[in-house]
Each structure stands twice: as C-alpha cells, then as structure tokens.
Amino acid sequence: MGPLFVALAFFGLLAFGMPVGFAIGIAGLIGIAEMGTRFLAMAPDRLFAGLDLFPFLAMPFFILAGEIMNRSGITQGLVKLADALVGWLRGGMAHSNMVASVMFAGITGSATADAAAFGNTLVPAMEKAGYTRAYACAVTAAGSIIGPTIPPSTLAIIYGSIMGVSISGLFAAGILPGLLICVICMAVIAFTARRKNLPKSASRPSLKRIAQALREGIFAAILPVFILGSILGGFATPTEAAAIAVAYALFVGGVIYRALSWRDLYDIAVRTTRITGVIFLIIAAATILGWWMTFNQIPQMVAKGLLSISDNPNVIIGLILLLLLLIGLVMDINATLIILAPVLGPLTVQIGMDPVHAGIMIILALNISLMTPPVGACLFVLSSVTREKIEAITRELWPFILAEVGVLLVVAFWSDLTLFVPRLLGF
C-alpha cells in the first residue's frame, strides 16, 4: 500500500499545481514517515548528501557562461557564422538555426538556454524573413535539445555523478548523437522546404562573407572547442573547464566586446541563481524519494517486472524507451533522471548494455521530452518569449519529434555509433 500511496500523493500534488521539486520531496517524506520516525530524522542529512557531489558544481558554471555569452551578444557571432555556411539553402535561416544550436550547445549544455536565446533573436529574424512564427519556434525547439545531448551536457553531469559513470565518457558519447540530430532535422527542413515555400537566399555566400563571419564569431566558436578539448584530453575536469569557461566569457564579453555593464552582471547572477536553484531543489528532493525507493527495493521490483515480460535485450530496451518517453510527457526531466536512473541503470547493465551507452540512451530519451506537450520546458520558454501559442508550435513540431525519435532508436540499438568516440579517446 505504501508505494501506491506515495505515487498518488506525488501525482495528486502535481495536479494541484505544486512545483515539481516540492511535490517530489513531500511524496518522499510521506514514504519515509511510513517507515518510522528514526528514518524521518535522517531525511535532512540525505537531502544535503544528494547535492554533496563535486561534479555538480559544473552546472552553475556552465549556466553562468551561457548567460554571459548571451547577454554580451557573443552568440550573435555564432548565428552569423552558421548563416554564412548554410544560409544560402532553401529554408536557409532554419538550417542556420540548427547549426547555431550545435555551436551554442557546446557552451551551455542547456536546452532552455538555447530556446530562450534563439527565441529572442532568431525567431523574430526568421519571422521577418518570411517564416511563420510557429514554424520558427518549432525549428528552435527541435534544435534546442542538442544542447543537453552533446557536451557539456548538464544531464550527463547528473547521470554520471549519481550512477558512477565517467562524465568524460558520457560527454564523448554524446557528440555523434547530437550531430545526428542536427543532420536529421536539417533533412526534415530540406524535405518540407518546397511544400512550405520556405525563403531562399538569392546567391551562395562568398569566401569574403564567410571569412568576415568567422572573424566575428571566432571568440564564441573557440569556447566549445576549448571546453571539449580540455575535458576529453584529460587536462581538466568538467568542473574546472566550466569555471574556465566563465572566466573566458567574462573576458571576451567585458574586455574585448565591452558589452557587459555592472547591471548586466547583476541580472546574469540573479538568473543563474534562479535556474541553478530550481535544478538543485529538484535533485535534492529526488534524492529523498530515491532513497525511499531503494529501501523498499522498488528498482529490483521494476527490473523483475520488465524481465518477466521478456528476456530479449531489444524488447527490454524498447520498454525502457517507451517508459521514459511517456513519463517525460508529464514530469520534469531532471526529476525523472534522478528517480529513474538508479532504477533503469542496473537493468541495462543486467541485459548487457555498456553503462555509457545506456546513459546516453536515457539522456536522449528525456531530452526529447523537453519539446513534447503538455510539460515540455522548451515549448513553455518559446511560448513565453515569442507569445506564440503552444498548440501552434506543436503542430509544426511533430515532423521533428518523429525524426528525433528515429535518432533515439538508432542510438539505442546501434551501440557502435554511440561508443565510437569514447573508444577512440580511450574511455
């Protein structure tokens, strides 16, 4: 009766509009209270223990670096560079949006940061160029999930920290899936370009224009390469690389571009604190619920239940993906990851999956939830920024969702694709 009551309490609190972090924490406390008062007294200690992981420090640093790059206008250089490279195609600005998402993802590792940045800049520009606002938002939402897929992915940091999997290995494993998402979404744009009569540039860019765009965007383009190179090369931990990224962004934005005021720095600090606070609250609360689940052997029960359906690894993988996609429709992905990773991680090992491969599969499945209604975070960010209705964005988004689910299936069932770069780098 305990697990059922906790589940009802959690979903009931969500239904009444309680923030997900508080709903998770209260549900966990209800479960622990049923175990006895001595366990309830241990809850505050477990709450702080859930955040007492050094790699978690990388998250606020990467968020801060992205906010600085955004506020100082450095990311505009990335957009111009992407436009110079692929803007001449039919639907060129949509293609540029995707390429810029890859570049921006290498700085922040955040889908919502990507959606907010391009929702403020690229969406109005695309609308002015002749795209519908809903389509521009859909392209931005589809590209935004590249952020938490390729390094420095915040979800990879969380998963690696709580599951004891190499964060550098997860970073390396996310590169090809992230690039594949970009390619497949550009294919969707190209396939629908004539039917939607998407705008096309009059001529291909000259080498002079490409060189000029590269000169303007070089400072922003260097940072992702530096972050990746230092982490994957073993010269810095993700946390150290994140701190250096902040220093670099401050130097470029404040000294070279001279685009940061003290008021900007204050606003950046406040926004970073709010974003980090929400994430850390969810992590801490989910630790309580996860502790209760582990004590009641719920992970073992779930594993036993899935294995009772079939012992075929491919069937189990399909069931895991279906579970993640369905739960992602109604629940925050950070909370889902904290709660389900200890449940599903051991199961994937039991069926013979590599821990890094399993981690990227789980992360990508949850990332897709960021752009699916009814609680897709990127949809809400874009709707808030652009004043476009979520329903209109979703109608234009379905081809991209189906394409990215296709990428998820490739990643899940073709381990060599995911593990190629980690093996190449010795992870």
Of 8-22, 73-87, 372-386, the least confident: 73-87
Residue 354, pLDDT > 90, answer yes
Give residue 138's pLDDT: 92
Give residue 264's pLDDT: 87
pLDDT, average across residues 376-394: 84
Taking a C-beta distance cutoff of 8 angstroms, is the pair 31, 289 a contact?
yes
Q: How far apart, in whole angstroms, are the C-alpha atoms of residue 288 and residue 318?
A: 29
Give residue 206's pLDDT: 66
Q: How far apart, in whole angstroms, are the C-alpha atoms of residue 154 and residue 85?
A: 28
Taking a C-beta distance cutoff of 8 angstroms, is the pair 105, 147 a contact?
yes
Q: How confident is the model at residue 173 (pLDDT cuts 50, 70, 90)?
A: very high
Percent of the chain with pLDDT over 70: 93
pLDDT, average across residues 187-192: 90
Phi, psi angles (nearest 5°) of residue 247: -60, -40
Q: 90 forms bridges with which residues in the sheet? A: 200
Residue 43, pLDDT > 70, answer yes
Q: How far apart, in whole angstroms, are the C-alpha atoms of residue 93 and residue 273?
A: 33
Q: Which residue would you say has higher pLDDT here, 130 or 107?
A: 130
pLDDT, average across residues 267-286: 83
pLDDT, average across residues 14-26: 78
pLDDT digits 0-9 by tens, 124-149: 888 888 889 999 999 999 998 888 88
pLDDT digits 0-9 by tens, 61-90: 888 887 887 777 766 767 777 777 776 777
Which residue ranges make up each domain of the chain? 50-425
- Give the tokens for residue 277: 């606070």
Of 245-254, 261-270, 281-290, the least confident: 281-290
Whole-number average pLDDT of the chain: 82
Give residue 252's pLDDT: 81
Q: How far apart, in whole angstroms, are the C-alpha atoms of residue 261 and residue 417?
A: 45
Percent of the chain with pLDDT over 90: 19
Q: How confident is the model at residue 202 (pLDDT cuts 50, 70, 90)?
A: low
CA–centroid distance for 128 within its chain = 28
